[in-house]
Amino acid sequence: MKAGVLAVQGDVSEHAAAIRRAATAHGESAEVVEIRESGLLPECDVLLCPGGESTTISRLIRREGIAEEIREHVAADKPVLATCAGLIVLSADAKDDRVETLGLIDATVDRNAFGRQADSFEAPLAVDGLADPFHAVFIRAPLIDAVGDGVEVLASWEDRPVLVRDGPILGCSFHPELTDDPRIHDLAFFPEVAATV
Ligand SMILES: NC(=O)CC[C@H](N)C(=O)O
């Protein structure tokens, strides 16, 4: 598969390694395309939107003409994994004028919901469809405040959603690329495999 990793800013190499690892584990190979300009994403089968700084990412993807290509990718029902700042950028509303959200995940997010209490923390997370908890790393993580009817909540932390699915998009507020566990990447890109682990 050709896997596009949005690479305007954020933790790109970790996601590139994670999708390669997940593909290899399932007898496939992933050719990673780092996306910093328009014209590359249309060739890709799947897209990863890493964490980073959502204000910067949202500005750069518009300036480079990538925002429209992300919309087209989703409209074509191609899979996306959006983590942390990626989730914020793809959401409907980040309650912050400095982030121009794309409105592709029908959810309102609170950008630095945990920030005031605890910058970063790790926790075992029960995830729908996974037999064992996922070790979730939260770094200045957003929390999801509200989701639309078509959005499936797959995991919550303290009663607030942190992993959601909206059509072809899996959005999470933690960082699955920072652990060796491929199961969140599986849920996004190899759902038939994820269902069995
Ligand atoms: N780790 C992250 O991606 C943090 C996201 C950051 N809080 C933001 O608003 O962009």
pLDDT per residue as tens digits for the range 10-28: 889 999 999 999 999 999 9
Tell whether 111 is in a known binding site. yes
Which pTM does this prediction carry? 0.95
What is the model's pLDDT at position 192? 77
- What total number of domains does the chain contain? 1
Residue whose CA is at the smallest distance from ligand 1 atom 3: 51
Tell whether 86 is in a known binding site. no
Q: Does the beta carbon of 139 lie inside 6 Å of ligand 1?
A: yes
Report the CATH number that the domain containing residue 95 is assigned in CATH. Answer: 3.40.50.880
What is the model's pLDDT at position 65? 97
What is the model's pLDDT at position 91? 98
Taking Cα atoms as reference points, which of 77, 103, 76 lies closest to residue 89? 103
Domain range for 78 is 2-194
Name the burial class of residue 140, with classes exposed (0-12), middle (13-18) and buried (19+) by CB atoms within 10 angstroms of its CB: middle
Q: Does the beta carbon of 70 lie inside 6 Å of ligand 1?
A: no
What is the model's pLDDT at position 84? 96
Show the low-confidence residues of the chain (pLDDT under 70). Answer: 115-118, 194-197
What is the model's pLDDT at position 28? 93
CA of 141 to the centre of ligand 1 (A): 6
SS (H, E, C) the chain: CEEEEECCCCCHHHHHHHHHHHHHHCCCCCEEEEECCCCCHHHCCEEEECCCCHHHHHHHHHHCCHHHHHHHHHHCCCCEEEECHHHHHHEEECCCCCCCCCCCEEEEEECCCCCCCCCEEEEEECCCCCCCCEEEEEECCCEEEEECCCCEEEEEECCEEEEEEECCEEEECCCHHHCCCCHHHHHHHCHHHHCCC
Q: Does the beta carbon of 140 lie inside 6 Å of ligand 1?
A: yes
Catalytic residue among 14, 15, 44, 175: 175
Paired tokens of 24 = 């290899």
Q: Does the beta carbon of 4 lie inside 6 Å of ligand 1?
A: no
Cα–Cα dist 119/140, whole Å:
5
Alpha-carbon distances, residue 54 vs 59, 70, 84, 154, 194 (angstroms) = 8, 15, 8, 23, 28
Pairing mode of beta strands 160-166, 152-157: antiparallel
pLDDT in tens, 151-169: 999 999 999 999 999 999 9
